[in-house]
Chain A
């Protein structure tokens, strides 16, 4: 791996994104609009807004980066640029790390804006530090990016890639404990919830929302999310064949 190839990839991905003004606007503004909507849906129940608002800040980067990455990676595969990159001395690690860095940076911007609006004008109450909140949001973005990199290998078309969102993200959303407490679920569903990475992302955000302390339980959640990112990137690298039929 070389820093030059990795950073060049990050720069290139960001440059492609910058050329697409509408996508940039959607990435940065949709979370703000949804948070605002949520605030007024629960206008009479601010404690509900506080309970859901924090975890939602974890969901935006995960979901959007998952989608953006799977489509971007699919384009690399179908346009032949991926094959070109893999036939150069550049390592697969340079490519994947370059992507992760680019979308991690976008997540910092996205979460900072959404958190600033939520914590400021919308009055979201979060006990933990804002820095920790942004850190977890970036980890969630990397989780979405790494999962997108991996799953793009199983999509032949952009239609299929987009369909992975309901197939892969919605079940995790239903089981992560945001809609119903995990303890209240039937045992098999709890087991399923235990092995889904989004569970730990949302759980971590819930802990940050209610307590200013950096507990070992919170660190475990962060660690699990980070470990999942590493595993998905490694599996993703395995889906980048240098030879194909």
Chain B
């Protein structure tokens, strides 16, 4: 794991209000550089809102969120942070290649990167297919590939493995681990608790509050449980 004086993400008293309702209630956490950090919890718990606050696209954010040493959403961060939304944000009426060529142009990335990221997400076979003819899992990987183009220092991935077959899920997690080993920080949300085993650190979020910020072994030891699901349950009951 790469270490650095500046944290990848540092949140202090992070609160988010949406439509007059507070959905995140004062969170404090850090994500270290080069870590693969899992953001786990049931849907509706605020995972997406937290990620959007980190990326800087969420309105109604109070408290402090610093990303790579700058306030979240600063113009200087736009090429250093990659964000993949849960619904793939790509053009359905363009081919995989044309989508990625466009994103490479607006990111100012060299065109040779397009071929590399297509290989990284295993879409070489589908490169000339229109995105709206692809399966949901393939579309999600086009969206992921677009975020990889600029070699971001922080990758924020919202449920990247939903609907993927187990082989692809394993491949993607291996890619996340490789990116982490190479110094990229990843914040990955999931509601699949067994994906926790793939993460260096876990943030457990429930109803807008962090119920755990720990490594998996420490979490299991602290709760006296043998899997994340049970750990989550024991913490949720206490809270």
Contacts and interface: CB of A to CB of B under 8 A. Distances in A.
Specify whether A and B are partners: yes
Interface in B91-136: 91-94, 98, 101-103, 105-108, 130
Interface in A78-100: 79-81, 83-90, 94
Nearest to B88: A80
A216 interface: no
A156 interface: no
B55 A12 contact: no
Contacts of B85: 80, 83-84
Interface stretch (B33-41, B62-70, B72-80, B186-194): B72-80
A12 B79 contact: no
Band of interface residues on B? 35 or more
Contacts of B101: 8
Contact of A88 (B58, B61, B73, B106): B106
Contact of A243 (B59, B89, B105, B130): B59
B87 interface: yes
Interface of A is mostly: helix
B160 interface: no
Given A89-B75, A89-B108, A242 B57 contact: yes
B106 A243 contact: no
A84 B146 contact: yes
A149 B73 CA distance: 24
B57 to A, nearest CB: 6
Band of interface residues on A? 20 to 34
B79 A20 contact: no
A55 B81 CA distance: 50
B98 A88 contact: no
25 contacts: A2-B108, A4-B105, A4-B106, A4-B108, A5-B105, A8-B106, A12-B94, A12-B98, A15-B94, A16-B91, A16-B94, A19-B94, A79-B87, A80-B87, A81-B90, A83-B89, A87-B56, A87-B78, A88-B79, A88-B103, A242-B56, A243-B56, A243-B57, A244-B57, A244-B58
Give the top 9 A-B pairs by smallest Cβ distance, nearest first: A8-B105, A80-B89, A90-B106, A84-B89, A243-B59, A12-B102, A89-B78, A5-B106, A245-B59
